[in-house]
Structure 1
Amino acid sequence: MPIGKPTTTILRIATILLLFLNLTTVTPKSTIEPCSTTDSCTSLLGYTLYTDLKVSELASLFQIDPINLLSANSIDISQPDVVSHILPSQLFLKIPITCSCVDGIRKSVTTHYKTRPSDTLSNIADAVYGGLVSADQIKEANEISDPTVLDVGVNLVVPLPCVCFNGTDNGVPAVYLSYVVKPVDTLAGIAARYRTTVTDLMGVNALGNADVEDGDILAVPLSACASNFPRYASDYALSVPNGGYAVTADHCVQCSCTPGSRLYCQPASLSVSCSSMQCKSTNLMLGNATVQQSSAGCNVTSCGYGGFINGTIITTLSSSLQPRCPGPQQVPPLIAPPTMVTPDMGLAPAPSPFQIGGAPIGGLPGSVVPSSTGSSIAFPPSANGPSGSISAACTLVNPISGFSLAVVLVVFLGLVVPFL
């Protein structure tokens, strides 16, 4: 029997609803920072291992220095054969990357992936890189015309999300972490975990409300200590997030962010050949200080780090009069390379304290500073990998959920089918 005009109209409406449902199920979004300069910065990726990997394998996956990877997570680099240590699946780590200005927006394009048998763009995006990139973004970055045909051994550029925002947050030094939202997350929980506020996260990510969806990529500001090295230093603009470390000067110097937002640098624990780290005309080595109590206060003389210039470690001698003599430097404790994942919800972004048992929960950790009895590594709960992200700026209003549209479509079809 031929289809009449009313039936045709109904089918067209149903088709439109189905298309709309398909489009709005892809809800993840990320923050885009427009740029017009060649300046770059160091940023971080929040990444969950999809399988057991050696430190060297994980570093190779992102084309970064394995020592920098370990230092960013306060893992002791002096451990024997630490680069060959096997990190457990589902471990959450911060991955330091270089954030550049490419085609007018901030992104990292230094990561390349060599395709393997059975790889698909979706698998690479969602499983291997944990939803930090989408299949469409990989397709566009590599000008792939037919994503169903993926040859083995092809080197793909993997564009990764990052922002610089001039290395500050509300005028305070900051390093930004690109964090993929998990189903359990709330904006309040993420803010509590990283010692910031919901208001700040909403402002940084241009959110119209505090709702976040599974797979969204948030730019999370981490308070940091910034250097003042001269522009011609190879580690110019070095900035270290609170609770972490950065190794510089060819692995010779290790810097951390201490209380009071002071950058503190000392010789690294690696056995490498390094230039002199002694301050001239003194017996003080890099990171050392002398104190002398006087009637006027405490005279403090310290040997600091001034950058890595033409292969030379620059040391600077400074003297100051302080009200009281300082104690030992409070640096973040180093931890041994993790061998297992502890499912401790207190170490990962989680629902708002007011959403757990109907009452606030005190003592939510707020920074990456490890304790003497626990690990500094955050362990998100096991979950299915997010679906990826859309290469667009954050929307101000979250789209209608796919579930709601499905309900509407079922009701609609239930009403019109009897008339077909």
Structure 2
Amino acid sequence: MANKNPIFLFFPTMLFLFNLPCITPKSTIEPCSTSDSCNSLLGYTLYTDLKVSEVASLFQIDPIYLLTANAIDISYPDVENHILPSQLFLKIPIICSCVDGIRKSVSTRYKTRPLDTLSLIADSIYGGLVSADQLREANSNSVSDPSLLDVGETLVVPLPCTCFNGTDNYLPAIYMSYVVRTVDTLSSIASRYSTTITDLMTVNAMGGPDIKDGDILAIPLSACPSDFPRYASDYALTVPNGSYAITAGHCVQCSCVSGSKNLYCMPASLAVSCSSMQCKNSNLMLGNITMQQSSAGCNVTSCNYGGFVNGTIITILSASLQPRCPGPQVFPPLIAPPTVVGPDSLFSPAPSPIQSAGPGATIPKTVVPSTGTVQGYPPANGPTGSFSGSNSGSPSLVNNFARIPLALVLAFFLYAVTSYSL
């Protein structure tokens, strides 16, 4: 009696498996209710050899911003045409906006090429930072047939980003959206970016430390914030540890050395005209510091950058008495434009340049072409949770079936047939 009609048990079982929820990579989202934006980063791995200018064009950013965000020396001849190697990991600076109540960047546009599909664009060209479903939803008015894209069609690419008030545990931070790879663990990611498993779990509202290939995590990177006035065009400029930013019409270069919270700005060596960078009532230029030891301590006078206002570089003369005189200014080390990728980077993103270059070094003179200014934005809202799935609704039955291991299906089938024959 027990084996009377066992084959009929096979079909309800398989029907149940077909309707299991589709497990898809999760991404951290940040609800928002304002039009404020912030500076953010994307962790991006090159899918092929690309020129610096081609990578910048892919995300519609200034090539110089791409280079300085990764502490790559911009003084190299014809650096914008330098070919970067496939599988190189880069930090891409983007503007994170509030769109339909969610933080994301929608300023990136992609022009389709022959043989392009939404999956190819999402998974390969943009390295999993966006999904095919998200591309389909963002371009629903122009993409009538997702399997057939017209050559030269312009697509909106909604990229993940978070602001979280520009802080992490009440300390200044800038957030990077990171695509998890097969070899990653939450512990290895935390170690690589000088944070903790607990912090990553809190920021991403995770119930446990388990992650999987394709998940997108928001990773807080320690940073140096600015205190420029709100009316400055580079208000709220924030520079991550170990990197640089160019601002004030490419006249000013600001840096953030690893482990520091103090933004240091100085003139950039440029072939463009800049407004005066001399502090009033002094002989000091922007970035200059004088020190005089006395019995009471060290008298320190400095000429600091105060923001870019209506085309004018604001300088502020500051004087203070400190217990001891500070040492010489240290800068994040610059690296040469990469030509090869180390063996570790073939499987997981490489450490930031500051981690591999050792202690700080004096910055060499650089020549930066005039291509715009860095815009700073006010901080956004605090962290919330994460979600699973895509924005395009429930997955199809066919997609669920594709996720069931073939061996499991065969095992059920053989069991049913054998039981029935008995």
Compute the TM-score of the two structures, normalised by the length of structure 1.
0.84
Q: Residue type matched to 2:106 in 1? A: V
Q: Are 1:125 and 2:122 an aligned pair? A: yes
Q: Residue type matched to 1:30 in 2? A: S
What is residue 367 of structure 2 aligned with on the other side?
A: none
> Which of 278-287 and 149-158 deviates more?
278-287
Distance 1:88 1:130, change over 3 A: same
Shift of residue 412 of structure 1?
2.1
Cα distance in structure 1, aligned partners of 2:233 and 2:389: 35
Q: Are 1:209 and 2:208 an aligned pair? A: yes
Residue pairs, 1:12-411, within 5 angstroms: 12-20=12-20, 24=22, 26-143=23-140, 144-258=143-257, 259-344=259-344, 368-372=354-358, 390-391=389-390, 408-411=408-411
Shift of residue 411 of structure 1?
3.0
> 2:112, 2:154 within 8 Å by CA — same for their partners in 1?
yes
Cα distance in structure 1, aligned partners of 2:408 and 2:348: 36
What is residue 395 of structure 2 aligned with on the other side?
A: none
Q: Residue type matched to 1:263 in 2? A: L
Shift of residue 344 of structure 1?
3.9
Shift of residue 44 of structure 1?
0.4
Cα distance in structure 1, aligned partners of 2:191 and 2:358: 21
> 2:224, 2:263 within 8 Å by CA — same for their partners in 1?
yes
Cα distance in structure 2, aligned partners of 1:273 and 1:406: 67
Cα distance in structure 1, aligned partners of 2:135 and 2:345: 33
> Which of 276-285 and 408-417 deviates more?
408-417
Q: Residue type matched to 1:136 in 2? A: D
Cα distance in structure 2, aligned partners of 1:232 and 1:94: 28
Cα distance in structure 2, aligned partners of 1:390 and 1:66: 33
Distance 1:319 1:197, change over 3 A: same
Q: Residue type matched to 1:187 in 2? A: L
> 1:332, 1:369 within 8 Å by CA — same for their partners in 2?
no
Shift of residue 9 of structure 1?
6.1
Shift of residue 372 of structure 1?
5.0
> 1:224, 1:261 within 8 Å by CA — same for their partners in 2?
yes
Cα distance in structure 2, aligned partners of 1:167 and 1:347: 30
> Which of 147-156 and 9-18 deviates more?
9-18
> Which of 305-314 and 77-86 deviates more?
77-86
Shift of residue 31 of structure 1?
0.3
Structure 1 segments unaligned to the other structure (5+ residues) = 351-364, 375-388, 393-399
Shift of residue 257 of structure 1?
1.4
Distance 1:345 1:62, change over 3 A: closer
Structure 2 segments unaligned to the other structure (5+ residues) = 361-387, 392-399
Cα distance in structure 2, aligned partners of 1:107 and 1:35: 10
Q: Residue type matched to 1:72 in 2? A: A
Shift of residue 403 of structure 1?
7.9
Shift of residue 16 of structure 1?
3.8
Deviations 1:90-130 (A, max 9, x none): 11000000000001100000000000000000000000000
Deviations 1:346-386 (A, max 9, x none): 99569xxxxxxxxxxxxxx7984442599xxxxxxxxxxxx
Shift of residue 251 of structure 1?
1.2
Shift of residue 408 of structure 1?
4.4
Deviations 1:146-186 (A, max 9, x none): 20121110100000000000101111110001000010000
Q: Residue type matched to 1:314 in 2? A: I
Deviations 1:223-263 (A, max 9, x none): 11111111110001101111111111111111111344101
SS in structure 2 of the partner of residue 219 of structure 1: strand
RMSD: 2.6
Deviations 1:320-352 (A, max 9, x none): 1111111111110111111111224699569xx
> 1:108, 1:161 within 8 Å by CA — same for their partners in 2?
yes
SS in structure 2 of the partner of residue 183 of structure 1: coil
